[in-house]
């Protein structure tokens, strides 16, 4: 009897929950979603799922392979120990090539940073950089950097007669080839959390090489890059009183630098001075900021020394005048100012509108009042991990438009 009851219980359990197929499970389920006219009515909307399928698969693949992290690592955006090999595109579409990036970054913010980077965009060109930096606490070597490059299309706008700077027009664009090796060793000391002092020594060797095919060369008699081996040094001071890190909301930053370099046994000798300041003014609401920037940079011959044209500072989309192409205005001195209104669109995305103004100063320049150029525009910055990761900016000026997409750039 007991065995029979046990068999009945077992049979009932089997019937109730076990040993039955999926279809029967579904049939016996107490609750089921009702068949819905609603789902049929929503069917046309589901067509949007079709183009999403490859996008979703791509996102899944990208996440599973850490693709963005690998890409961002190629632009110094990393916080971990790693090494990697990454493809690199040519700087101006001269060709694509490959790059290698080996870097180490202790996870602690006050750790050493070592970066080695080499890219070869093709056409015989290359760029390589190695740098080591440690946070400044006491007077000691704080950074060493070595940079080498071979570029066969260095932009230089040279007016007929050899003038540079604001007197040039877009049609005056010329190109040259330059091979360069530079070394900089700097000893730094932190003065509080916001200030830093540095003294540096530099060495540089550069020579003009053949420009790339199709590039308009500098006319004979015009400024040339020449050849120079320079050794020099200087002083640097920086003050960072801005709050908010990569998205400053108040405060100011200031950096000044003075340096000198000369060519042992040669005719190149120059003095260099630069000052950059930025201020961030909080406006009527959180994260609405008016960012102001002013820059001054000048190189001048020391005594009767020659200043290689390549070392003259430039005013362009990457340095203070955002609607003008790379290297557009270059002369002994550059002054620029910017005002930028910033506001957040969402948590990781700031929008901005800007006006820039600037001019170069030096031989062959028109009167200052007529030299000033302006640009205006706007853009957005994307942030991740508290850092600016992507800048997209569109500038408009008297000579056209300039779109800049940059990674890891901050103002």
Partner 1 sequence: MIAAALAAWLAASSFAAGRDNDDFDIPEPAASTGDLFWSDGAYWMSVHQAKKAFDPVWLLRKLGLLARPPAANVDAQDEVDDSTWFTNRHARRRLSAAELAAGPGGEPPRPPFSVRSAHPAAQTPRFVAEDALGRRIFFKLDALDRPGLSTNGEMIASRILHAAGYHVPSTFIVPLASGSLRLGEGAVVAGRYKGQELPMQPGHLESLLYLAPRGAGGGRFAVATLGLSGKPKGPFSYFGVRRDDPNDSVRHEDRRELRGLQLLFAWLNNTDSRRGNTLDMYVEDGGRRFLRHYLLDFSASFGSGNNEPKAPEEGHEYFFDAGAAFVSATTLGAWVKPWEASRADPYPELGPFDAEGFEPEFWKPSFANPAFERAAPADAYWAAKLVTSFTDEDLGAIASVGFFPTPGAREHLVKTLALRRDACGRRWLAAKDVAPLESFWVEDGELRFTDLAVERGYATTDATRYREERRRDRRLIRVSRDGGRTFGRPVSVWLDGDRVMRIKH
Chain residues that interact with partner 1, rule: CB under 8 A: 4-5, 8-9, 11-13, 15-20, 22-23, 25-26, 28-34, 36, 38, 41-42, 44-46, 48-49, 52, 55-57, 59-60, 62-66, 69-70, 73, 78-82, 107, 284-288, 341, 343-347, 349, 351, 353
The distance of closest approach from Cβ of residue 44 to partner 1 in the complex, given in angstroms and rounded to an integer, is 6
Tell how strand 289-301 and strand 269-282 pair up. antiparallel
As separate numbers, helices (DSSP H) first and strands (DSSP E) second, the chain gives: 7, 18
Question: Residues with Cβ < 8 Å from 244, sequence gap 6 or more?
Answer: 250, 251, 280
Nearer to partner 1, 230 or 289 (CB): 289
Contact 103, 114 (CB under 8 A): yes
Nearer to partner 1, 109 or 213 (CB): 109
The distance of closest approach from Cβ of residue 345 to partner 1 in the complex, given in angstroms and rounded to an integer, is 5
Nearer to partner 1, 13 or 368 (CB): 13
Picking from 350, 339, 172, the residue whose alpha carbon sits closest to that of residue 246 is: 350
The distance of closest approach from Cβ of residue 395 to partner 1 in the complex, given in angstroms and rounded to an integer, is 18
The distance of closest approach from Cβ of residue 376 to partner 1 in the complex, given in angstroms and rounded to an integer, is 14
Nearer to partner 1, 10 or 194 (CB): 10
The distance of closest approach from Cβ of residue 63 to partner 1 in the complex, given in angstroms and rounded to an integer, is 5
Picking from 118, 115, 138, the residue whose alpha carbon sits closest to that of residue 128 is: 118
Q: Is 30 helix (H, G, I), strand (E, B) or coil?
A: coil
Question: Residues with Cβ < 8 Å from 135, sequence gap 6 or more?
Answer: 109, 110, 111, 142, 190
Q: How many CA atoms does the CB half-sphere of 2 hold within 13 Å? A: 0
73 torsion bin: left (phi>0), alpha (psi -120 to 50), beta (else): alpha
Nearer to partner 1, 329 or 352 (CB): 352
The distance of closest approach from Cβ of residue 350 to partner 1 in the complex, given in angstroms and rounded to an integer, is 10
Nearer to partner 1, 36 or 221 (CB): 36
Contact 136, 76 (CB under 8 A): no
User: What letter does residue 264 receive in the DSSP assignment?
Assistant: T
For 108-147, b/e burial (b = at least 16 CB within 10 A) is eeeeebbbbbbbbbbbebbbbbbbbbbebeeeeebbebbb
Nearer to partner 1, 46 or 138 (CB): 46
The distance of closest approach from Cβ of residue 174 to partner 1 in the complex, given in angstroms and rounded to an integer, is 40
Nearer to partner 1, 109 or 264 (CB): 109
The distance of closest approach from Cβ of residue 249 to partner 1 in the complex, given in angstroms and rounded to an integer, is 11
Contact 292, 281 (CB under 8 A): yes
């Amino acid at each position: 009897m007991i065995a029979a009851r046990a068999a009945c219980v077992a049979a009932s359990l089997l019937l109730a929950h076990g040993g039955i197929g999926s279809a029967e499970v579904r049939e016996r389920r107490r609750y089921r979603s009702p068949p819905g006219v609603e789902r049929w009515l929503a069917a046309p909307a589901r067509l949007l799922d079709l183009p999403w399928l490859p996008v979703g698969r791509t996102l899944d693949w990208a996440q599973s392979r850490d693709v963005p992290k690998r890409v961002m690592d190629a632009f110094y955006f990393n916080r971990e120990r790693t090494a990697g090999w990454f493809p690199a595109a040519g700087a101006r579409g001269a060709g694509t090539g490959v790059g290698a990036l080996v870097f180490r970054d202790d996870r602690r913010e006050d750790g050493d940073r070592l970066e080695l980077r080499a890219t070869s965009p093709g056409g015989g060109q290359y760029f390589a950089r190695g740098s080591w930096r440690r946070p400044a606490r006491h007077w000691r070597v704080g950074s060493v950097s070595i940079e080498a490059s071979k570029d066969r299309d260095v932009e230089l706008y040279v007016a007929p007669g050899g003038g540079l700077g604001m007197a040039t027009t877009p049609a005056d664009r010329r190109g040259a080839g330059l091979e360069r090796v530079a070394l900089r060793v700097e000893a730094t000391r932190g003065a509080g959390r916001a200030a830093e002092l540095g003294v540096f020594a530099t060495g540089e060797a550069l020579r003009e090489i053949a420009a790339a095919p199709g590039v308009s060369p500098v006319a004979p008699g015009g400024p040339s890059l020449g050849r120079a081996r320079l050794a020099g040094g200087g002083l640097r001071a920086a003050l960072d009183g801005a709050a908010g890190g990569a998205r400053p909301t108040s405060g100011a930053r200031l950096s000044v630098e003075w340096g000198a370099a000369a060519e042992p046994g040669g005719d190149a000798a120059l003095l260099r001075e630069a000052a950059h300041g930025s201020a961030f003014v909080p406006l009527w609401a959180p994260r609405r900021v008016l960012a102001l920037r002013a820059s001054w940079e000048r190189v001048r011959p020391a005594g009767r020394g020659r200043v290689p044209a390549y070392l003259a500072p430039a005013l362009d989309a990457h340095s203070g005048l955002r609607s003008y192409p790379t290297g557009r205005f270059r002369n002994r001195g550059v002054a620029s100012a910017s005002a930028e209104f910033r506001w957040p669109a969402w948590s990781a995305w700031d929008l901005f509108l800007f006006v820039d103004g600037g001019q170069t100063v030096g031989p062959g320049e028109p009167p200052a009042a007529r030299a000033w150029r302006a640009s205006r525009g706007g853009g957005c910055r994307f942030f991740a991990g508290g850092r600016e990761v992507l800048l997209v900016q569109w500038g408009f000026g008297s000579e056209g438009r300039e779109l800049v997409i940059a990674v890891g750039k901050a103002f």
